Amino acid sequence: MHEQVKPRITVVIPFYVAEPAEAPGRYQGTLGPWSGAPAAGDAGRTRERHLHLMLSSLAAQTLPIDEFEVLVVDDGSASDVQRCVEDWRLNLRLRVIRQQHSGFCTAYNTGIDQARAPVVFLAVDHDILSPGTLAAHLARHAAEGTEAAVSGRQRYLFHSIIFNDLTDPSAGLADLSQLAMLPDLGWLPAAVRNLDLDRKPVTVDDVLHRFDTVAALASCTQEYADVEAVLRADLANKLRCGWLAMRTGSNSVATSALRAIGGFDSQLDAHFGWYAEHDLGLRLFQAGVPFRFAEEAMAIDLFHGPPATAGIGKSTALAYLIGKHNTVDVALLPHYVDRVLDIEEYSHHAAAAQRWWPSNGEIR
């Protein structure tokens, strides 16, 4: 029955789990817990649990299941993704597409190529979505009446790292003293004590039936707040660097617009997918695609930590993108990402630096 109805929106989720002894793969979507965290040796099962939660949030959507399809692009995982999905028995119109391990961008492009809906939601495997997310995205696209890129709100669930198994609190907790020694997590033990976070795991049942409880524990980072402010004020297409509002995990884009610009740049897979969403946003921006905001949509990012062995890609990807775009806006990307300048400030920095950007090979 489901297959006979053309979906209105296609959710694409790249997924990859490496063998335990291997490098984490060719894209940032393969990240496990922070390097040194107690669960680091269980990265494969951690990713599967995150995917289970993500798919559960899709099963709880208010949009009828006939109206959306889910494509999990298995990028040559060591785990049996098809079996996992079947074991979870979720009521979804879902296909697992397995391909040879290629990377984050190639996996997205596989899903975009096979999408049957006029809108593609660019999901990630470590997010969970509020029940009204897909309906809110479709409503915003319909209101726009033309090709658009739509973003919802994003939040971060920092405390999710303290559970060895997010879906099963009986699996025990991580070592809080060890976590406190990791960058930016010194505050976590006190938060656990004062807020009883160790008694608030995220289970499949929570995602299916109590999403508001999970949302109450999530926080809006400075970066997320900036993106929301720019989109809410309708500034993304007016600021010089408004394309920075593009974020996988909370964005949907007209399928025709994605295909017209060639989807993600698969060359970035050689650089672990660094800056892939920024490059996509820039090319959509250059194509005149409007960036819009769906206030009622929300994606909650489960804590997954920074890349461990893929860090070199940050530098090599930047060099590649400077050669590709040859703009000062791209050359300053680390200035934005590392210092967390807001998008408007970054636009001013890029404008100021423009006068010093080499023209015809001459340095001013």
In the chain the domains, ranked by start, together with CATH numbers, are: 2-308 (3.90.550.10)
Mean pLDDT throughout 322-344?
A: 91
Instruction: For residue 238, give every residue at least 6 positions away whose Cβ sits within 8 Å of its Cβ, in sequence order, or none.
Output: none
- Over residues 102-125, the pLDDT tens digits come to 998 999 999 999 999 999 999 999
What per-residue string of b and e applies to 89-114 under the rule 16 or more CB within 10 Å gives b? ebebbbebbeeebbbbbbbbbbbbee
State residue 186 phi and psi, 5-degree precision. -60, -25
| pLDDT at position 317 | 92
Mean pLDDT throughout 168-184?
A: 79
Give the predicted TM-score (pTM) of the model.
0.91
Q: With 50 as the cut, is the pLDDT of residue 30 above it?
A: no
Of 236, 279, 228, 273, which Cα lies nearest the Cα of 258? 279
| pLDDT at position 32 | 38
Hey, which bits of the chain come out as E strands? 9-15, 68-74, 94-98, 119-122, 127-129, 149-157, 251-254, 291-302
Q: With 90 as the cut, is the pLDDT of residue 25 above it?
A: no
Q: Calculate helix-pair angle for 43-59, 81-88, nearest 10 degrees.
A: 50
Q: With 50 as the cut, is the pLDDT of residue 218 above it?
A: yes
- Over residues 253-294, the pLDDT tens digits come to 999 999 999 999 999 999 888 999 999 999 999 999 999 999
Average model confidence (pLDDT) for the chain?
87
- CA distance linking residue 127 with residue 124, whole number of Å: 6
| pLDDT at position 22 | 52
Q: With 70 as the cut, is the pLDDT of residue 1 above it?
A: no
Tokens at 243, concatenated: 């394309």
- Over residues 59-85, the pLDDT tens digits come to 999 999 999 999 999 999 888 999 999
Quick one: CA torsion of 286, 292, 298, 301, rounded to 10 degrees? 20
CB 335 within 8 A of CB 346: yes
Give, rounded to a whole angstrom, the gap between the first and last alpha carbons of the chain: 65
- Over residues 220-246, the pLDDT tens digits come to 989 999 999 999 999 999 999 999 999
| pLDDT at position 3 | 62
